[in-house]
């Protein structure tokens, strides 16, 4: 059982405020009383709370990491990159998730601020540019991941990634290319969707909204999307998915219905998760440099904490990795 200031106060027969002054070397208390209380605290095994110290002092040497979803493996390498840079610069990290819920994200930010964190990195925000008006942003700088419109952000090039996917499928001969988008219209989802549409139009292919269906960035969203797409009069010959987890859900659903991937329908993911190369068929996907994004976002945040000027948003190039889940469409 941990010892509190109230426990020490009761034992010393003084007020908790007197104990607090003694333990923090505050004035308005005699040196003799201060020494007695400090000795008693040591005897009782009192361990001061880092959070409590931060609340009354300067900001801590801790960086907060807020991610959209602990269940999504996309964030693991990002966290690893942030942590490596933070530790190398004598900072600790505190990680929590808000599960794409705006109110939870806002509550988490306020909690980070109350604990006087030095700064925060947010991946998968549903607030996006609202951070510019966050009331505590001067005291707790923020770097956003995959929100390129934000002035302090590090992002993979989603526009390039989506264009590479669509062009790859067009080069294979596909014309009925579906897109399983994210259900919410936050920035990173919109960038993929807009690039998908623009690339189709640039190659003279009419954008058919029936081929655009919503997923939830998990396996289940891919399964539901397949039911919608296969119900169309003309089924797609290729499906471009919001992320790799969605793509795995799509492939599973297709195979269970007796539809071969890629001979009947090609499938492409987005993220470059480890599962993409080990899955069968091995998944064609857009490789996002997640570890590098984590490292660069941590470096950017440390620069903001140190008051450096001329810090600008960074966009890091994505890469298309072609594997076994894409092939030319069957001749009709």
The 10s digit of each residue's pLDDT in 127-149 is 877 888 887 788 899 999 999 99
CA 71 to CA 99: how far, in whole Å? 9
Give the pLDDT band (50/70/90) at residue 27: low
Average pLDDT over residues 256-276: 96
Domains of the chain, first to last: 5-46 (1.10.260.40), 62-155+290-315 (3.40.50.2300), 158-289 (3.40.50.2300)
83-126: pLDDT as tens digits: 999 999 999 999 999 998 999 999 999 999 888 899 999 999 98
pLDDT at 52 over 60: no
pLDDT of 59 > 60? The answer is no
Looking at residue 49, what is its pLDDT? 57
Read off the pLDDT of residues 168-194 as tens digits, 9 standing for 90 and up.
Answer: 999 999 999 999 999 888 888 999 999
Tokens for 101, please give them. 């819920």
Bigger pLDDT: 165 or 71? Answer: 165
Q: 226-230 — which CB contacts under 8 Å span 24+ positions? A: 226/250, 226/253, 226/254, 226/257, 227/253, 229/178, 230/257, 230/259
- The backbone region for 46, taken as left when phi is positive above 0, alpha when psi lies in -120 to 50, beta otherwise, is beta
Mean local confidence (pLDDT), 291-306 = 96
- Residue 146 structure tokens: 């995959």
* Cα–Cα distance for residue pair 57/137, rounded to 1 Å: 18
Mean pLDDT, range 55-69, rounded to an integer: 78
Asked if pLDDT for residue 56 goes beyond 60, the answer is: no
Q: Confidence class of residue 16 from pLDDT cuts 50, 70 and 90?
A: confident
pLDDT band at 48 (very low <50, low <70, confident <90, very high): low
Residue 270 · residue 319 · CB < 8 Å: no
Instruction: Check pLDDT > 60 for residue 308.
Output: yes
Structure pTM? 0.81
Instruction: Give the per-residue pLDDT at 73.
Output: 93
CA quadruple 250, 252, 258, 259: dihedral sign: positive
Confidence of residue 75 (pLDDT cuts 50, 70, 90): very high
What pLDDT does residue 32 have? 86
| Alpha-carbon gap, residue 290 to 145, rounded angstroms | 10
Q: Which of 1, 23, 2, 25 is nearest to 12 (CA)?
A: 23
Strand partners for 182: 215
Burial of 268 (0-12, 13-18, 19+ CB in 10 A): buried
How many other CB atoms sit within 10 Å of the CB of residue 234?
A: 9
Q: What pLDDT sits at residue 1? A: 54
Q: If pLDDT is split at 50, 70 and 90, which confidence band does 55 have?
A: very low
pLDDT of the residue at 15: 86
Higher pLDDT, 143 or 55: 143
Output the pLDDT for position 305.
93
Closest CA to 192 of 156, 222, 219: 156
pLDDT of residue 183: 87
Span 191-213, pLDDT tens digits: 999 999 999 999 999 999 999 99
For 203, list phi and psi in degrees, rounded to 5: -105, 15
How high is the pLDDT of residue 107? Answer: 92
Q: Is the dihedral of CA 99, 240, 207, 319 positive or negative?
A: positive
Q: Which residue from 100, 98, 93, 62 is spatially nearest to 79, judged by alpha carbons?
A: 93
Tell me, letter by letter, the H, E, C secondary structure of the chain. Answer: CCCCHHHHHHHHCCCHHHHHHHHCCCCCCCHHHHHHHHHHHHHHCCCCCHHHHHHHCCCCCEEEEEECCCCCCHHHHHHHHHHHHHHHCCCEEEEEECCCCHHHHHHHHHHHHHCCCCEEEEECCCCHHHHHHCCCCCCCCEEEECCCCCCCEEEECHHHHHHHHHHHHHHHCCCCEEEEEECCCCHHHHHHHHHHHHHHHHCCCCCCHHHEEEECCCHHHHHHHHHHHHCCCCCCCEEEECCHHHHHHHHHHHHHCCCCCCCCCEEECCECCHHHHHCCCCCEEEECCHHHHHHHHHHHHHHHHCCCCCCCCEEECCEEECCCCCCCCCCC
Candidate from 28-42, 220-234, 275-289, 295-309 with smallest mean pLDDT: 28-42
pLDDT above 70 for 310: yes
Residue 139 or 158, more confident: 158
């Amino acid at each position: 059982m941990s010892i509190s200031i109230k426990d020490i106060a009761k034992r010393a027969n003084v007020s908790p405020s007197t104990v607090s002054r003694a333990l923090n070397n505050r004035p308005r208390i005699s040196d003799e009383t201060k020494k007695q209380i400090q000795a008693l605290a040591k005897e009782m095994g009192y361990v001061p709370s880092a959070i409590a110290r931060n609340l009354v002092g300067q900001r801590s040497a801790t960086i907060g990491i807020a991610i959209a979803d602990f269940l999504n493996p996309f964030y693991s390498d990002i966290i690893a990159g942030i942590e490596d840079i933070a530790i190398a610069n004598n900072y600790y990290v505190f990680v929590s998730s808000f599960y794409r819920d705006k109110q939870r994200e806002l509550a988490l930010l306020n909690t980070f601020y109350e604990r006087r964190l030095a700064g925060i990195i947010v991946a998968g925000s549903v607030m996006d540019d609202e951070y510019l008006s966050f009331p505590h942003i001067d005291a707790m700088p923020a770097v956003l991941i995959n929100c390129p419109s934000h002035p302090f952000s590090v992002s993979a090039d989603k526009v390039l990634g989506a264009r590479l996917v669509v062009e790859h499928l067009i080069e294979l001969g596909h014309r009925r290319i579906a897109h399983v988008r994210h259900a919410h219209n936050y920035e990173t989802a919109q960038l993929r969707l807009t690039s998908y549409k623009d690339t189709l139009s640039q190659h003279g292919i009419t954008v058919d909204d029936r081929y655009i269906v919503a997923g939830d960035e998990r396996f289940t969203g891919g399964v539901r999307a397949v039911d919608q797409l296969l119900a169309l009069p003309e089924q797609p010959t290729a499906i471009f998915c919001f992320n790799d987890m969605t793509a795995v859900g799509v492939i599973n659903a297709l195979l269970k219905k007796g539809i071969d991937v890629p001979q009947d329908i090609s499938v492409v993911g987005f993220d470059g998760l480890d599962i993409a190369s080990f899955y069968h068929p091995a998944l064609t996907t857009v490789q996002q440099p997640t570890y590098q994004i984590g490292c660069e976002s941590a470096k950017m945040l440390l620069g903001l904490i140190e008051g450096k000027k001329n810090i600008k948003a960074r966009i890091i190039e994505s890469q298309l990795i072609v594997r076994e889940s894409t092939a030319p469409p069957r001749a009709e």
